[in-house]
Amino acid sequence: MLFLGKRVLSGYTSGNTVELLRSGSPFFDAMERSIDAAVEYIHFQTYIVVEDETGIRIVNALVRAVQRGVRVYMVLDAFGSNSFSRRSILRVINAGILFRKFAPVFTSKGFQVSLRLHHKVLLVDGSTAIVGGINIANKYLGSPGRKEWLDFAILVKGPVCVPILNITKKVWNKQFISPKERSRERIPNPRSYDPGVMVRMVQNNWFRRKIEVLMSYRRAIQMAKERVVVVASYFLPGRKDRKLLKNARLRGVEISIILPGISDVPMFKRATNFLYGFILRNNIKIYEYLPSNIHAKVATVDGVWSTIGSYNFNHLSDYGSIELNLNILDSTFTLEFEKLLQEIILTDCRQITFEDYLRRRTLLSRLADWFAYQLIRVMFRLMFYLTRKSE
C-alpha cells in the first residue's frame, strides 16, 4: 500500500465500498435505483443530458424524488447540454427541482468564456455517490444491434462522500442563487465500512489552480513498476506526460493504451494518430476498440491503483474543464478491473503494430494527422489564454 508514498496517501480515506459500473444497463439501472432510494437530498451534476428515452428516464426519476419530498439540485453544463430544451427546463423547475445551467456561453453581458462543467456526479443523501465519465443519453445505454459507447463509473459509499458533497455544494452555491436555494447539507458522521477500500476524490479546476487528476496520473506513472493500462477517448498527452510514459517503458514497465478505432470527434482521432509513431517507437502497445466508440477515461497501475472519472488525458481537461475522478488504492478491485480490461483487449480490440502504422500511413493521412494535431494544440493554447483572461 506504499505504492504512491506516504505523502500522497494522506489524501485517501479508508472505510469505503466501491462497485465498478460499466456503461449500458448496469450503469443506468444503478443510477435509477440510487435516485429512487433517496430520502433527504440529491446533487446531480453532469455535462450532457439528452432528451431521449434515457434522458427522460433519469429526469423522471428525479421528479419522482421531489414528489417524495427529496430536495433535488440539478446542474447541467450550458454548452454540453445546450440541446436540453426550454420546455424540459420548465418541466423540471415546475416539478420542484432546483435547476441551473453552468456557465452559459451567452449572457446579458455578451459572450462568456469559462471552464466547462465536465464532471459527472450523482450524490444521494451524503451516503452514496456515482462518479464517472458517462453522460445521460441513449448512446451510453445501447440498444439491440447497437453497442453502447464504452465507459465506466464508480458507485461508492463511505467517508469519500464528504469531499464529493463539498464539491457539488460549491458548484451549486456559485450559481448566484437565492438564500432559500443554497445547499447547506452536511455529513457530520459519515458511515465507515469495514473492511473498507481506500479512495481519494481528485479534481481539476484551473480557476482554483487545481490539477489533482493530472498530478495523480503523473505520480502513478512515475511509481509504476510492472504495468500500466490506460483507456482514453481523447488521448493527447503533453510533452511532459509523453516523457513520463517513455521513461516508464525504459524502466521495463509494460504499457497498454486502449483507444477508439472510430471516434465521434474525427479531428481528435487524427491528432491522436499523429502520436502513434512516438507511442509505437517506445514499445508502448496500442489497442483500438472496434464495437463502438470509446468514451472511457480510466487507468490502472500494477494491479494496485486505478482511477475512474471524467478526466481526459489532454490539456482541455487540464485547463478548460472542471473534472472529477476517484482514485482507488485497492488490489482486489484493481485486479478485477484489469481482468475486465484484458478481456476487452482480447475480444473487442485490434492491436496496432508499427508495421500496421507504416502500412496505413499515406502522405495524405500524414498531412491530415499533422494538421489536426497542430490545430488542436493551437486551440488548447487559445483556450488556456482565454480562460486565464476571464478569471
Contact of 117 with 322, CB cutoff 8 Å: yes
| Residue 1 banded pLDDT, cuts 50, 70, 90 | very low
In a domain, 184, yes or no: no
Which amino acid is it at 115? L
Considering the domain architecture, whether residues 211 and 257 belong to the same structural domain is answered as yes
Considering the domain architecture, whether residues 140 and 231 belong to the same structural domain is answered as no
Predicted confidence at residue 6, as pLDDT, reads 46
- Give this prediction's pTM: 0.93
In a domain, 333, yes or no: yes
- Boundary (domain end) residue, out of 124, 144, 178: 178
Contact of 220 with 301, CB cutoff 8 Å: yes
- In DSSP notation, 239-275 reads HHHHHHHHHHHHTT-EEEEEEESS-SSHHHHHHHHHT
Considering the domain architecture, whether residues 92 and 171 belong to the same structural domain is answered as yes
Task: Write out the three cell numbers for 114.
Answer: 469559462
In a domain, 2, yes or no: no
Considering the domain architecture, whether residues 212 and 308 belong to the same structural domain is answered as yes
| Residue 9 banded pLDDT, cuts 50, 70, 90 | low
Considering the domain architecture, whether residues 109 and 250 belong to the same structural domain is answered as no
In a domain, 30, yes or no: yes
Q: At 314, which CATH number? A: 3.30.870.10
What domain range is 371 assigned to?
200-387
What total of structural domains would you count in the chain?
A: 2
Considering the domain architecture, whether residues 76 and 117 belong to the same structural domain is answered as yes
The alpha carbon of residue 314 and the mean position of all alpha carbons in its chain are separated, in whole angstroms, by 12
Considering the domain architecture, whether residues 117 and 266 belong to the same structural domain is answered as no
Considering the domain architecture, whether residues 149 and 40 belong to the same structural domain is answered as yes
CA dist., res. 225 & res. 218, Å (int):
14
Considering the domain architecture, whether residues 54 and 120 belong to the same structural domain is answered as yes
> What is the average per-residue pLDDT within 359-373?
92
Considering the domain architecture, whether residues 133 and 247 belong to the same structural domain is answered as no
Predicted confidence at residue 110, as pLDDT, reads 47
